[in-house]
Amino acid sequence: MQTVSQGHKVRPAAVAGAFYPGAPDRLRADVEDFLAAVPDYAGPTPKALIAPHAGYLYSGRVAAAAFACLRRPASAIERVVVIGPAHYVAVRGIAVPNVDAFATPLGRVPVDRVALAALGDLPFVVADNGPHAPEHALEVELPFLQAVLGPFSLVPLLVGDAEPFDVAEVLDRLWDGALIVVSSDLSHYLDYAAARRRDGRTAAAIERQAWASLGRNDACGFLAVAGLLRQTKSRGLSVERLALCNSGDTAGPRDRVVGYGAWAIG
């Protein structure tokens, strides 16, 4: 693992007050309201989740459908791998941060430095705070995890110019004793009908675990999703759809929408 830059010990919240409320009480109330609207999950304990990462106004109810699956096994989850795309800073490979914790208005989540050290010999893993500093893809998942789980450690990973095989290898090393959360939205900026068609095809591919068929126009986090599905298919796990919609269903106009989906894998 190549080290690019050192940085602050705590990665501060970058999108509090924008993607989700910045006031702790308001944030907790909003997250709990989203979760309360989701029926109890009767399926097997998830090994992995796929959840969206837009502003809560747009995708909060879909994200809640994923994280509500953790209510029953919450006490047994102590480490969470959260992996998603780098939107703002170019990454060659997969970026891990040089910090000890991630902060949200709900508090600090410690970073599992031991787990990250297990990736140290992989040439496509780079230690770099730059991509993590402005990124929302991982951060927006944390308040849901903080609301549902007890204390847990975080393994934060941002995927840039990488291959699904790289993601799969990283997840294989982190597999034991961890919940995996892949952060991804689906199609971007199609009209409502076109988005429904494309997202329906993408959802079907995810549920078949047809990882090689996913492309960048299907989901911004397609590499992370594909790498996860390569692992889950090889391990004989199944994928269950929990929610599928777009921003035209939740907030905003229907001429230019973003798709959201949630899945549990176990």
> 235-259, pLDDT tens digit by residue?
999 999 999 999 999 998 999 999 9
Tokens of 148: 């549902």
By the 8 A CB rule, do 178 and 79 touch?
Answer: yes
Q: Is the dihedral of CA 131, 53, 203, 230 positive or negative?
A: positive
How much is the pLDDT for 252?
Answer: 86
SS3 of residue 163 by DSSP? coil
Tokens of 225: 């999703």
How much is the pLDDT for 1?
Answer: 57
SS3 of residue 62 by DSSP? helix
Q: What is the mean pLDDT of the chain?
A: 96
Residue spans of the domains in the chain: they are: 2-265
What are the distances in angstroms from CA 163 to CA 45, 104, 212, 218?
Answer: 28, 30, 11, 16
CB atoms within 10 A of CB 122: 16
d(CA 50, CA 181): 6
From the list 260, 225, 263, the residue with the least C-alpha distance to 241 is 263
Domain 2-265 has CATH 3.40.830.10: yes
